[in-house]
Amino acid sequence: MRVIAASTRPAKITRRALAKQQTREKVLLAARQLFTERGYEGATIRDIARAAGMSTGAVFASFADKSELFGDILTADHAALTEAMSDAAQGKTTVDSALMAMFKAGYDFHYPQLPLFAAGVAVSWTWTESSEQRNREAVRPIRDLILQQLRAGVERGELVERHDMRLVASTLWDTYVRSYRRAVFDGWSSDDLQTLLRDQVALILAGLRA
Amino acid sequence: MRVIAASTRPAKITRRALAKQQTREKVLLAARQLFTERGYEGATIRDIARAAGMSTGAVFASFADKSELFGDILTADHAALTEAMSDAAQGKTTVDSALMAMFKAGYDFHYPQLPLFAAGVAVSWTWTESSEQRNREAVRPIRDLILQQLRAGVERGELVERHDMRLVASTLWDTYVRSYRRAVFDGWSSDDLQTLLRDQVALILAGLRA
């Protein structure tokens, strides 16, 4: 009897947890689409609930507010991006080719949802300190991947550690993020951005060449 | 008689133009304060009109919408900043000291109104193409000042033109803008930012040293 009860209970919890998870995913999917179409300010929780086919109360049962919902989308994207960038850098034998493969993976990832990317950068300038901390945690693995490639370049004798490598990684990441302005406002293609970024990577690494 | 009429008319127009100008300035002053306190999204035209002591109709007589009002503030700031940076670079005899004097003038200018600066960067990621074009026009003289200092460095034999100097100027400007995140989210002082930026300028210029 006890054994049956014990084995039934986790199953019930799992079903409930599964339903909750499915609700979250429906909300996130609807929110992602609306943020992409209307930007962060243009999409309300009411719009998102309607698009997901549920009440605003059901949305609030899963997310404290719009900012948490948006933060969850950004965090999920950063996790997916970390994986895509890590895969892309595999087997590359120079710093430049590894970094450019990573950044290309980033462009491939964000190009289909450029307005969402722009909304993410926009919101990141005015959100709360806790949102900022959360986002830094999500971006850190990507900066670490960049740092790893720089250190591999030093080990191969391609680069010399003349500057703080964390600062170099940050400067590269910032330059990559900034490059999206050309996509958003000038309609530049991913190839155009890669050409621009290749020059900027060359500039930033120039003083570190062995 | 005609002479008197001719001389009176411009005076009338001038009085009217002066009144219109004073209204604009009152609105801009109130708007600047509210955008600084509440951010771009948080301040409505209604709030701004009330703070300026006039009707929303009177505000709309001077500005088409909130975005135009905000754009006017940014444009005025960029013009003032161009002058402050130009003055700061006067008499500096090295590229690094000239650039750092310019960027220090920038920090001095924006520190008293950091939330307004952050709101400006935030909005710049999601505004219209015409706002973007307008802002680029306003920022161009600052990028030109940076470019001028790079060229002066080449003339003095400090730097060698190994990269597209416009790209170098853009990369420096982007890095300067990005540095404000440390002020906004980590409470870094202007001195802290200058230390960080000095390292980044050294990194970016390293490959151009003669």
B49, B85: one domain = no
pLDDT above 90 coverage of chain A, percent: 90
A189, A92: one domain = yes
pLDDT tens digits along A100-129: 999 999 999 999 999 999 999 999 999 999
Judged by a CB distance cut-off of 8 A, whether residue B181 touches chain A is: yes
Bridge partners (DSSP) of residue A159 are: A209
Contact A101, A190 (CB under 8 A): no
A54, A146: one domain = no
Which B positions 74-93 lie with beta carbon below 8 A of chain A?
none
Judged by a CB distance cut-off of 8 A, whether residue A118 touches chain B is: yes
Last residue in a domain, options B10, B31, B63: B63
B42, B138: one domain = no
pLDDT tens digits along B125-177: 999 999 999 999 999 999 999 999 999 999 999 999 999 999 999 999 999 99
For residue A85, the model assigns a pLDDT of: 98
For residue B13, the model assigns a pLDDT of: 75
Contact B118, A114 (CB under 8 A): no
Minimal CA separation from B108 to chain A, in Å = 20
First to last CA, chain B: 72
**CATH of residue A50:** 1.10.10.60
Within 8 A of A129 by CB-CB distance, chain B residues are 185
B43, B132: one domain = no
Closest-CA residue of B relative to A36 is: B126
pLDDT tens digits along A22-37: 999 999 999 999 999 9
Within 8 A of A206 by CB-CB distance, chain B residues are 162-163, 206-208
- Residue range of the domain that includes B58: 1-63
Mutate one of A44, A70, A125, A170 to test the B interface: name it (highest B CB count within 10 A).
A125
Which B positions 148-177 lie with beta carbon below 8 A of chain A?
162-164, 167-168, 171, 174-175
Minimal CA separation from A128 to chain B, in Å = 8
A41, A86: one domain = no
Last residue in a domain, options A20, A39, A63: A63
pLDDT greater at residue B7 or residue B117? B117
Q: How confident is the model at residue A16 (pLDDT cuts 50, 70, 90)?
A: confident
A69, A157: one domain = yes
Q: How far apart (Å, rounded) are the C-alpha atoms in residues A55 and A67?
A: 18
Contact B167 A199 (CB under 8 A): yes
Closest-CA residue of B relative to A161 is: B203
A97, A20: one domain = no
Length of chain A in terms of residues written: 210
B141, B174: one domain = yes
Q: Which amino acid is at B28?
A: L
For residue A14, pLDDT beyond 90:
no
For residue A75, the model assigns a pLDDT of: 96
A79, A144: one domain = yes
Mutate one of B124, B125, B205 to test the A interface: name it (highest A CB count within 10 A).
B125
For residue A95, pLDDT beyond 90:
yes
**CATH of residue B151:** 1.10.357.10
Q: What secondary structure, in 3-state letters, does A168-183 show?
A: HHHHHHHHHHHHHHHH
pLDDT tens digits along B112-123: 999 999 999 999
Contact B173, B183 (CB under 8 A): no
Last residue in a domain, options B40, B63, B86: B63
Contact A168 B199 (CB under 8 A): no
Q: How confident is the model at residue A99 (pLDDT cuts 50, 70, 90)?
A: very high
CB atoms within 10 A of CB B135: 19
B107, B56: one domain = no
Minimal CA separation from A198 to chain B, in Å = 11
Mutate one of A135, A177, A185, A193 to test the B interface: name it (highest B CB count within 10 A).
A185
Q: How confident is the model at residue B11 (pLDDT cuts 50, 70, 90)?
A: low
Give how many domains chain B has, as a whole number. 2
CA distances from A181 to A81, A120, A168, A184, A189 (A): 19, 13, 21, 5, 11
For residue B16, the model assigns a pLDDT of: 87
DSSP A63-96: -SSHHHHHHHHHHHHHHHHHHHHHHHHTT--SHH
A139, A86: one domain = yes
